[in-house]
Amino acid sequence: MKTILNAIAVATILIATPALAGPKASANADSSVDLRQFQTFGWANPIGTDQNGYQSILSQNLKASTQRQLEARGLRYDETDPQLLVNFNARLDDKMKVSTTPTPTMAMGVGYGRGYYGYRGGMYGTYPMYQDQTTVSQYKEGTLNIDIVDTARKQLVWEAVVSDTITQKKRDNMQKTVDDYMKAAFKKFPIPLPK
């Protein structure tokens, strides 16, 4: 009985805690473009995560992490005449997760104190029965968009969307959080890391 209760408690925690999953990434590429033909990249101006005419700390972190990812794949940063432009957008949304799990209870039957249909009346217990327990948890979800644009054609050639639950710990260590997002996104980039 105790083992069943422990298993249900662990399952409830796993279902109710979306932060355990880590960042989820999806990507889309223009299949008519071979990204290996490009050698340089730069930044869109202004970057979508900049605010009120100045560069945000988030933008600085995004640029540093993206630069590491692209340079590791053989591209070179070019401030004056890049072949590719990189842009970002980020959102933070309030989310709610509702989950229902069966929870064992000791049924007392109809009429409190009278037992199961009135005949057990406190003489002995019943087998555990199950009731649905609904758990509601609130959390913040961060979504990051990464756009890579062919400068000459002014056309999007690759995009990635990464989403994850944002905890206070992730906010306090923003550079690591951004690095984790970028690793998840660039795993889907058409140019892999060299081996």
Residue 194: the pLDDT is 84
Residue 126: the pLDDT is 53
Residue 135: the pLDDT is 75
The residue count of the chain comes to 195
Q: Is 11 helix (H, G, I), strand (E, B) or coil?
A: helix
Residue 16: the pLDDT is 43
Residue 6: the pLDDT is 42
Longest CA span, the chain:
87
Instruction: Indicate the DSSP class of residue 123.
Output: S
Residue 154: the pLDDT is 95
Please report, in angstroms and rounded to a whole number, the separation of the first and last CA atoms in the chain: 51
Residue 102, number of CB atoms within 10 A of its CB: 13
Nearest alpha carbon to residue 140 among 160, 168, 161:
168
Model confidence, pTM? 0.68
Query: Hey, what domains does the chain have and what are their CATH numbers?
Result: 2-186 (3.30.160)
Residue 166: the pLDDT is 82
CA-to-CA distance for 83 and 10, rounded, in angstroms? 50
40, 78 contact by CB (below 8 A): yes
Mean pLDDT by 10 residues, the chain (195 residues): 43 44 90 95 92 87 96 96 95 72 61 51 56 71 92 96 88 90 94 86
164, 141 contact by CB (below 8 A): yes
Nearest alpha carbon to residue 187 among 146, 153, 151, 155:
146
116, 109 contact by CB (below 8 A): yes
